[in-house]
Amino acid sequence: HPLGATGAMILGTLLDELERQGKKRGLATLCVGGGMGIATIIELV
């Protein structure tokens, strides 16, 4: 699966859930392959 598309879907879902639950902050993580990974913290302002 294309990692770019997966990342966009995860961030979109995170934003939807933050709004639905009335939260301000969320964390999204992704594996990049080869034992690497990334994490992104989102804060609604």
pLDDT tens figures, 1-26 = 566 788 889 999 999 999 999 999 99
Q: How many domains does the chain have?
A: 1
What is the pLDDT confidence band of residue 33, given thresholds at 50, 70 and 90? confident
Residue 7, burial from CB neighbour count under 10 angstroms (0-12, 13-18, 19+): middle
Range of the domain at 30: 3-43
Residue of 33, 32, 19, 5 whose CA lies nearest to 42 = 19
Whether the predicted model's global pTM rises above the 0.85 cut: no
Cα–Cα distance for residue pair 45/4, rounded to 1 Å: 25
